[in-house]
Amino acid sequence: MNIALVGNGKMGRMIDTLCAQDENLHVAGFVGPGACRTLDELADVDVAVDFSYPGNLDMVLETAVRRRLPLVIGTTGFSAQQAAQIRAASAQVPVVWANNFSTGVTVMCRLARMAAQALGDEFDIEIVETHHNQKEDAPSGTAKALLASVDPNGAYDVVYGREGRPGKRGREIGMHALRGGTVAGEHSVRFFGQMEEIELRHRADSREIFARGALKAAAFAVKAQPGLYDMEDVLFGGK
């Protein structure tokens, strides 16, 4: 599998390191500062993996659609309009789009969805995420994915932290973002009931888990039909 890496930051370099350890994987090249400017500068590509920044999206989608390149998108912070562009492109090429490529987080999202459905309104829900002090967006994409798992229809108000005198809790889900040090990523979903509590928690000790997941997604994408997929599709058999 020949892989084009869009973004030569920490995630891109980690994927490159893993590919160097597997004779079946080859990095065709990087798109980013000090490397190629566009995907069109790279030939013999089977799949493009994008861990860069939202400003690259137009170039990535245009090239992928024109060249019929499967895509794995791990960039976060897209606008609503950019999200719509990704969905439109997926009608022509397979796109695996996820906010977190950890297999553990993927399973956690499924468990959180099952718990929320079973527990219903009798339990209050709070989501807490922690990341390193260099992370630019908050809440994290993974926290948003967990929110979508427990509240897929947007039935709850989302409260981003609390201050002052917020009063009695309403029909809401609290979202809390902590930043500090070198934490690769930690997420928890807590369900508070009457005299009992359930907590689902995932901690990442290294970005390597995300790189390994992205490579699983790439292997899935090159065999998939056009469509929009996520890591649950990759792990549990596709749509």
Catalytic residue numbers read 131, 135
The set of residues, in sequence order, having a beta carbon less than 8 Å from that of 95 and lying 6+ positions away, is: 64, 70, 71, 72, 73, 86, 89, 221, 227, 228, 229
Strands 185-193 and 196-204: antiparallel
Residue type, 180: G
Strands 94-97 and 157-160: unpaired
* Tokens encoding 228: 């929009």
Number of other CB atoms surrounding residue 185 within 10 Å: 23
The set of residues, in sequence order, having a beta carbon less than 8 Å from that of 154 and lying 6+ positions away, is: none
The whole-angstrom separation of Cα 3 and Cα 209 is 18
User: CA–CA distance from 118 to each of 55, 112, 191, 222, 232 (Å)?
Assistant: 40, 10, 11, 36, 20
- In DSSP terms, which residues pair with 193 in a beta bridge? 196
Ramachandran sector of residue 107 (left: φ over 0; alpha: ψ -120 to 50; beta: rest)? alpha
Sign for the CA dihedral angle at 41, 45, 48, 49 comes to: negative
